[in-house]
Amino acid sequence: MLVHGAWHGGWCWDPVRTPLEAEGHRVFTPTLKGLAERADELSAEVSLEDHIEDVLTVIRDNDLSDIVLCGHSYGGMIITAVADRLKPRIGHIVYLDAALPEDGETMVSYGEPRPRAVVEAAEQAMREIAPDGVGMMVFPPALLGVPPDQPRHGWVEAKLTPHPLKTWLDPISLANGGPAGLPRTYVHCIDPVLAQTQFGWLYSQFKDDPEWNAVTLATGHDAMITDPAGVAQILLKAAHAPAGSKETEKKG
């Protein structure tokens, strides 16, 4: 189960799908409400809970179990809640340069502790890129680690759509510790590092933690676009082994 991040859709996992299916795995890549082919559902009311429910519904409708659950970027918010609610169905959880909130945190407030004024300024910045109060404007692919000379740059640029603002401001509710107790992997994309995010801080917390398999990929933030083979390799390892081995994947 591969969960996309902000401005993306299930389409972004297409380059990763082929190598996973070639190994016999079923691959689910739901598009979250208000994005991509569901852009006509975008409204000021689209919430974090709507996106969580999108993924829960796919899991329940298909009676999935022993899932490798992967979230990219904002998708980390979604998989954290899904793991919290359906923990017995998750075999391994993978955060791909992704958010990992604690109970009550938002996409803006999770991560390294910061003064409330700093978080409020970040929230205001998000509102400013959603001048209509509904959708945050699309970032250029280059800012997401897909440079203009990357063969898939044009494809990505054509498919990105505004992201529902409310989903970034809603606090998450976790009753069961999120991913705690599950085999878990954190992947940090380092070439280049996506600026002004908490992903590097999260990686620093997990790289020496025996409960985590923390690895790096030497590619940009949209690793499923720029290094699908590297991402697929990590997911395949997650499908066959628990966290705990200390490996660092460095892909160009």
Determine the Cα–Cα distance for residues 19 and 138; give it in Å rounded to an integer.
29
Catalytic residue among 43, 65, 73, 109: 73
Q: What is the C-alpha separation between 78 and 73, in angstroms, rounded?
A: 10
The CA distance from 81 to 72, in Å, is: 14
Per the document, the length of the chain is 252
At residue 179, what is the residue type?
P
Q: Is 73 a catalytic residue?
A: yes
**Which is it for the CA torsion 161, 11, 30, 40, positive or negative?**
positive
| Active site members | 73
